[in-house]
Amino acid sequence: MLPWSSMNMITKQAVFERYLKEYLKGGKKEKGRILSAVCDVTELHRKSAIRKFGNLQMKDVSLPEERGRSVIYTPDTIAALKAVWETGSEICGELLHPLIEEYVEILQRDKMWHHSAEATRKLLFMSEATVKRKVGKFMKARTPRKGISTTKPSHIKSIIPIFTGPWEGKPPGYGQIDTVVHCGSRLSGNMAYSVNYTDVSTLWVVLGAQFNKGQAATRESLECMRKKVPFCIHGMHPDTGSEFVNFHLKDWCEKENIELTRSRPNHKNDNAYVEQKNGHVIRRFLGYSRIDTLEAISAMNELYDVLEVYLNHFVGSRKCVEKVRIGSRYRKKYDKAKPAYRRVLESSYVDEDVKEKLRKEHTKLNPLLLKKDVDRLVSKVFKLQREYGNNI
């Protein structure tokens, strides 16, 4: 036989299995002889060899040998997690984990939850780190984000004051606004623009679509979007785009008692809240394809009416609560992810009547049904664009 140092694990096991039956049936002298032979070949201590024969005796040979830790989150639990993840629009684990319990309760209420009680129990027991790790394994690869910017310095930007913060402590009603162009690979001609209002305090999102980014069209979009915000708007903060930095919008804001400020040119971080939502919301659902038909723009507004409800009630967001510089790096601490709906309920600045109205609305909503409507309307936008794309 080979010396112990030259054996692999299978060969080592085979040595003991070869003598196991003889060892168990043998008497004291026979066992001693077998132990001497095995120890001579394997160079094991005599007590180690006795323990090895004892372990083999207790082992159930009908079961396969399993090494390592036992699996807690079995495939049925992972399937349940993936169902919740898809309902949550495939967001990251940090944003998904605080909302899992609510998603499950609503889907069970509406009899749309088809997973076992054991899988559900394990899913609700799953930690944030585990959710993050599991979600990371089946997140879809996304194409690189490439787009064209239409924001240019305005010659009359001096009429609107610059505001760089701090934003902490601002009550609900102070938001950042921006436009997103749906131009594809060229900026020529008229095309669709999405207007995005993001409330800084609650992260409440309101969206609107318009044909071109003219001053009048932008003001009309903001008027419609203002009515969809559940609380009063006290301030708007755009970048230096010409659709915002003009007397037309300035006069409207003064008439409506809305404070109008702007960010510095070429400083996107001044509008960090809305810039983040541009990518996480508009580009995520509509991408960078060109949209330039009135029919598709009408469908975009229909989509945004549903998408706003879905995002504000069921998709969590995190806010940075602490930022400490350590050497050349920053260490950031975030609060627990929660949807804008919960942030509104927690705000002491929002009237109780508004909160009660939102609570009643929330009890009638289902995230899975809303997600299905969103997917259907996204398909409708691009279907109309393909059908009528040559009409303009």
- CATH number of the CATH domain containing 326: 3.30.420.10
Can you give the pLDDT at residue 110? Answer: 92
Can you give the pLDDT at residue 65? Answer: 59
Can you give the pLDDT at residue 215? Answer: 86
State the distance between the two ends of the chain, measured CA to CA, in whole angstroms. 85
The answer to the question of residue 353 being in a domain is yes
Can you give the pLDDT at residue 392? Answer: 44
Tokens of 116: 């076992």
**CA atoms of 80 and 116, how far apart (whole Å):** 9
**CA atoms of 290 and 186, how far apart (whole Å):** 8
**CA atoms of 384 and 302, how far apart (whole Å):** 13
332 shares a domain with 211: yes
The answer to the question of residue 245 being in a domain is yes
**CA atoms of 14 and 231, how far apart (whole Å):** 76
Phi, psi dihedral angles at 194 (to 5 degrees): -100, 130
327 shares a domain with 259: yes
**CA atoms of 123 and 132, how far apart (whole Å):** 13
The answer to the question of residue 303 being in a domain is yes
Can you give the pLDDT at residue 1? Answer: 47
The answer to the question of residue 375 being in a domain is yes
**What residues of the chain score a pLDDT lower than 50?**
1-2, 4, 141, 153, 391-392
- Measured from the Cβ of residue 58, the count of other Cβ atoms closer than 10 Å reads 6
171 shares a domain with 48: no
Number of domains in the chain: 3
**CA atoms of 88 and 370, how far apart (whole Å):** 10
120 shares a domain with 53: no
Can you give the pLDDT at residue 2? Answer: 47
Q: How far is CA 58 from CA 10, 54, 219, 364, in A?
A: 19, 6, 80, 58
190 shares a domain with 293: yes
336 shares a domain with 295: yes
208 shares a domain with 280: yes
Helix (H, G, I), strand (E, B) or coil at 210: strand
Can you give the pLDDT at residue 114? Answer: 92
The answer to the question of residue 63 being in a domain is no
Q: 208 with 225: CB under 8 angstroms?
A: yes
Phi, psi dihedral angles at 296 (to 5 degrees): -70, -35
The answer to the question of residue 264 being in a domain is yes
Phi, psi dihedral angles at 196 (to 5 degrees): -120, 120
Question: Of 33, 58, 83, which residue constitutes the final position of a domain?
Answer: 58
173 shares a domain with 85: no
Strands (E), the chain: 174-182, 192-199, 205-211, 235-237, 259-260, 320-326, 329-334
CA atoms within 13 A on the CB side of 238: 26
47 shares a domain with 184: no
The answer to the question of residue 151 being in a domain is no
Strands (E), 97-204: 174-182, 192-199
The answer to the question of residue 230 being in a domain is yes
Domain that holds residue 50: 4-58
Please, which residues have CB within 8 angstroms of residue 98's CB and are 6 or more apart in sequence? 316, 336, 337, 338
118 shares a domain with 190: no
236 shares a domain with 367: yes
161 shares a domain with 112: no
* CA torsion through residues 214, 218, 219, 223, sign: positive
Amino acid at 256: E
